[in-house]
Amino acid sequence: MQNTNDIILKAINKSYQKGDNTVVVHDDFNLTIKSGEFVALMGPSGLGKSTLLHLMGGLDQPTQGEVLIGGQRIDNLPQKKLTQWRAENIGFIFQSHHLLPVLTAQGNVELPLALTPLNRKQRKQHASMALQLVSMSERADHYPKELSGGQEQRVAIARAIVSDPKILLCDEPTGNLDRKTADEILALLAKLNSDSGKTIVMVTHDHKAAEYASRVINLESYILSQNNSLSKNEELLQNIEPEVDDISIGASS
């Protein structure tokens, strides 16, 4: 029986056309992330780390295979349902925060709540709480251009968590930040993982950043281990955790 919050990528094939060539990004890829885990996905560029993140968030569809979240297949959901599902279950944090310059921090955080049945007062309350969680209450009325890079990323995190999604997908969230600010942001993510039980999947090149995760997956060796495994029987793959290249650091759990 699956835990309802697990993320499971099953026999994923992902390829795309580049001119006349077919570029294979993933071939028969399998991964399970348990509910409440903070997983760092590492590895060299071009291995498809961000692609995995996009598949988990329903932003992209696999060429073949299944993406199950909480026991629900999302790779074959119609676009309309997928959009709605994403709004309710997934929070995205990008390297570039993509905050809207015309809205204040408060306005940016309130934006995803336009997708909910909450009224204006409730939206304000929720956004204030989210800003408080990321220690940005005092800057609520500031516009992005009045904030530092770290503060902008905090607001982006508040925006990602404001509708209380269970899963946070972070694509190089500290890629543009200095070490000190990056550490603050990572500590914040670790806190959200430990205190609020958010499942976090973070793509990063930064080994220091990976130390905050409860599990680090080096994608290069992970794929190698999958290819070397004796059997690719689907039933077995569901039960086998490729622990060889799975480095558990456990800094935050």
Binding site for another protein (CB under 8 A): 4-5, 50-51, 54, 57, 59-60, 69-70, 72, 79-81, 83-90, 92, 94, 96, 98, 100-103, 111-112, 114-115, 159, 166, 171
What's the min distance (Å) between Cβ of 87 and another protein?
A: 3
Decide whether 60 or 183 has the Cβ nearer to another protein: 60
What's the min distance (Å) between Cβ of 160 and another protein?
A: 8
What's the min distance (Å) between Cβ of 120 and another protein?
A: 11
Residue 250: CB atoms within 10 A of its CB come to 12
Render 47-102 in DSSP notation, one character per residue. Answer: S-HHHHHHHHTTSS--SEEEEEETTEE-TTS-HHHHHHHHHHHEEEE-SS----TT
Strands 7-18 vs 21-33: parallel, antiparallel or unpaired = antiparallel
Decide whether 80 or 180 has the Cβ nearer to another protein: 80
Is residue 199 within 8 A of residue 33, CB to CB? The reply is: yes
What's the min distance (Å) between Cβ of 110 and another protein?
A: 9
Decide whether 88 or 211 has the Cβ nearer to another protein: 88
Decide whether 95 or 252 has the Cβ nearer to another protein: 95
Strand (E) or helix (H) holding 158: helix 149-161
Which of 86, 39, 24 shows the shortest CA–CA distance to 59?
A: 86
What's the min distance (Å) between Cβ of 101 and another protein?
A: 7
Burial of 101 (0-12, 13-18, 19+ CB in 10 A): exposed
Collapsed DSSP state (helix, strand, coil) of residue 113: helix
What's the min distance (Å) between Cβ of 225 and another protein?
A: 26
Q: What angle do CA 153, 56, 211 make, to 5 degrees?
A: 55
Residue 149 token pair: 């890079």
